[in-house]
């Protein structure tokens, strides 16, 4: 049997390092974006403050010129401011009527109307800076700031300033440069730290992997010696408990196998004993049969034949035990079927026909109970075959053995349809060896014996199975 190819798995060390590096990259990127946005907001706020201050200063300087409608003085003042403030990209003064003093070059001013909404902002758009493209030469981005001009006569117009964003761009470039430099350092340090942390994490896991491979190879006495704490330490302890449990189960399994082998040997030995006993019984019956043939005394021959039948019933019991699946109990139905057939064969006169009908349920008895039962049935059936049917060619004997729920034991009935028995018969005073043997065996079973001779002879014995007692 070949093992299926295992799919290639990514190293945990590689995955942990990659995840940590990605987290570091995302952290640096988020930090850079937040820093740029924060710097942009701060620079715009600074430019707005600078523009407001400058616009207020210009408004104070040209307020009187606006009131006197002296445009040339306004232009001179604006040129002075332009030459002084290098961050100014443009400076535009517009009136409410639409006239505008427009700076279109380094030293040239034009007077003309500017009708776009940019130069005439609404109330909510005043005093707010907006970053947009230079509206005159479109040369780049600048901060456009509109300041409302107010005199004693009321609102007269706006002062529009365009401030250069060079400082903003330089600041953003410096942020990008510093962020890139710091981010590179952070990424390198983060990757190294993640690698060493992941390595320390993987080290006990690899030790557990090696330990699991040893256990898979059959080394159940191995233990995971890992000093790591937390979940990995708990996992190692769980592995050790699992392997310890497996080792204990293996020991129990080996003991069970040894015990099973020992029981098997004992069972074989018991079967051999039953077989030898059966053989010895056969030898005894053969010797008795030979002795019976050689004797001329009819009473002695009768005694020998009865002894042979009894020994045969005991030998048959050991034969059934030898052949059965269990050496401790015997199936009474098969045993009695063979026993009664043998009794009919040896005790039926020539020219007559005898029949034994069995009614034996699923009864399995131990040897201590089955042996007395077999001897009792042997005596009763033999007695019926000899004396129940005088001068009759036909005769039937009924043998019943079934559990008795009332007494929680068993009921044995042997009944024949013969001539019956005298009602005054008392088995306690019986002189025949067979009846005395039946009484003795019934007492051995702690049973109760009853006779009924009204219609044939019916003998009923109620008993309980004998409990085996240890003899050692």
Burial code (b: 16+ CB inside 10 Å, e: under 16) for 421-458 equals: beeeeeeeeeeeebbebbeebbebbebebeeebeebbb
Compute the CA torsion angle 60, 65, 71, 73 (nearest 10 deg). Answer: -80
pLDDT for position 317: 62
Is the torsion defined by CA of 74, 77, 82, 85 positive or negative? Answer: negative
Nearest to 332 by CA among 370, 368, 381: 370
3-state secondary structure of 458: strand
Task: Show me where the domains of the chain are located.
Answer: 12-172, 249-327, 331-467
Phi, psi of 144 (to 5 degrees): -95, 125
Q: Model-level pTM greater than 0.95?
A: no
Distance, CA of 404 to CA of 430 (rounded, Å): 28
pLDDT for position 398: 93
Q: Over 71-110, what HEC string results?
A: HHHHHHHHHHHHHHCCCEEEEEEEECCCEEEEECCCCCEE
State the greatest distance between any 2 C-alpha atoms of the chain, in Å, as a whole number.
180
Sheet containing strand 394-404, edge to edge, reads 353-360, 394-404, 409-416, 457-463, 448-452
Distance, CA of 320 to CA of 456 (rounded, Å): 32
Distance, CA of 142 to CA of 166 (rounded, Å): 9
Nearest to 330 by CA among 371, 364, 356: 364
Residue carrying the six token digits 């021959």: 301
pLDDT for position 421: 78
Distance, CA of 266 to CA of 72 (rounded, Å): 134
Bridge pairing between strands 394-404 and 353-360: parallel
Please name the residue ranges forming H helices in 217-297: 230-294
Q: Is 363 exposed, middle or buried (0-12, 13-18, 19+ CB in 10 A)?
A: buried
pLDDT for position 129: 84
pLDDT for position 343: 85
> Strand pairing partners for 394?
353
pLDDT for position 269: 65
Low-confidence spans in the chain with pLDDT less than 70: 1-13, 16, 104-108, 151-153, 228-231, 260-278, 281, 316-328, 423-424, 467-472
pLDDT for position 366: 80
- Beta-carbon contacts of 163 under 8 Å, excluding residues fewer than 6 positions away, are 47, 50, 51, 87, 88, 89, 142, 143, 145
Q: Which CATH architecture has domain 331-467?
A: 2-Layer Sandwich (3.30)
Angle at 434 between CA 429 and CA 439, to 5 degrees: 55
Distance, CA of 348 to CA of 361 (rounded, Å): 27
Nearest to 142 by CA among 50, 32, 53: 50
3-state secondary structure of 367: helix
Q: Which CATH architecture has domain 12-172?
A: 2-Layer Sandwich (3.30)
Distance, CA of 455 to CA of 396 (rounded, Å): 13
Distance, CA of 44 to CA of 49 (rounded, Å): 9
Angle at 460 between CA 458 and CA 462, to 5 degrees: 175
> Strand pairing partners for 431?
none
Chain center to CA of 358: 56
Q: CA 111 → CA 74, 163, 255, distances in Å?
A: 11, 21, 115
Rg (CA), the chain: 61
Nearest to 95 by CA among 56, 69, 134, 76: 69
Which regions of 273-350 does DSSP assign to beta strands (E)? Answer: 329-331
């Amino acid at each position: 049997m070949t093992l299926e190819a295992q799919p290639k798995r990514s190293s945990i060390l590689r995955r942990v390092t990659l995840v940590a590096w990605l987290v570091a990259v995302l952290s640096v990127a988020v930090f850079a974006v937040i820093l740029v946005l924060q710097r942009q907001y701060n620079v715009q706020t600074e430019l707005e403050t600078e523009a407001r201050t400058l616009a207020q200063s210009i408004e104070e300087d040209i307020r009187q010129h606006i009131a006197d409608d002296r445009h040339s003085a306004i232009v001179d003042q604006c040129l002075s401011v332009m030459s002084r403030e290098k961050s100014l990209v443009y400076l535009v003064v517009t009136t409410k009527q639409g006239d505008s003093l427009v700076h279109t070059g380094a030293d040239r001013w034009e007077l003309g109307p500017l009708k776009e909404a940019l130069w005439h902002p609404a109330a909510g758009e005043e005093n707010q800076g907006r970053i947009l493209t230079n509206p005159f030469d479109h040369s780049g981005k600048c901060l456009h700031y509109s300041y409302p001009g107010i005199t004693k006569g009321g609102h007269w117009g706006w002062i529009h300033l365009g401030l250069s964003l060079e400082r903003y761009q330089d600041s953003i470039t410096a942020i990008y440069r510093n962020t890139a430099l710091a981010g590179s350092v952070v990424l390198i340090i983060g990757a190294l730290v993640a690698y060493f942390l992941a390595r320390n994490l993987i080290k006990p896991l690899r030790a557990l992997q090696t330990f699991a491979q040893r256990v898979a190879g059959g080394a159940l006495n191995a233990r995971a010696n890992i000093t790591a704490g937390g979940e990995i330490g708990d996992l190692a302890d769980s592995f050790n408990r699992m392997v310890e449990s497996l080792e204990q189960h293996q020991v129990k399994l080996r003991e069970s196998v040894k015990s099973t082998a020992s029981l098997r040997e004992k069972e074989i030995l018991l079967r051999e004993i039953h077989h030898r006993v059966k053989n010895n019984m056969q030898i005894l019956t053969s010797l008795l049969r030979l002795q019976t043939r050689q004797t001329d005394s009819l009473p002695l021959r009768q005694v020998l034949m009865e002894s042979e039948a009894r020994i045969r019933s005991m030998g048959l019991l050991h034969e059934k035990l030898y052949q059965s699946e269990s050496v401790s109990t015997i199936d009474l139905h098969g045993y009695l079927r063979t026993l009664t057939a043998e009794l009919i064969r040896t005790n039926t006169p020539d020219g007559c026909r005898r029949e034994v009908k069995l009614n034996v349920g699923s009864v399995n008895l131990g040897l201590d109970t089955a042996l007395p039962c077999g001897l009792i049935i042997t005596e009763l059936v033999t007695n019926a075959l000899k004396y129940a049917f005088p001068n009759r060619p036909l005769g039937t004997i009924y043998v019943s053995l079934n559990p008795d729920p009332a007494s929680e034991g068993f009921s044995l009935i042997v009944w024949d349809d013969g001539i019956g028995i005298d009602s005054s018969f008392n088995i306690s005073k019986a002189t025949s060896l067979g009846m005395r043997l039946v009484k003795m065996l019934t007492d051995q079973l702690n049973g109760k014996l009853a006779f009924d001779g009204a219609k044939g002879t019916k003998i009923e014995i109620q008993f309980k199975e004998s409990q085996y007692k240890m003899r050692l």
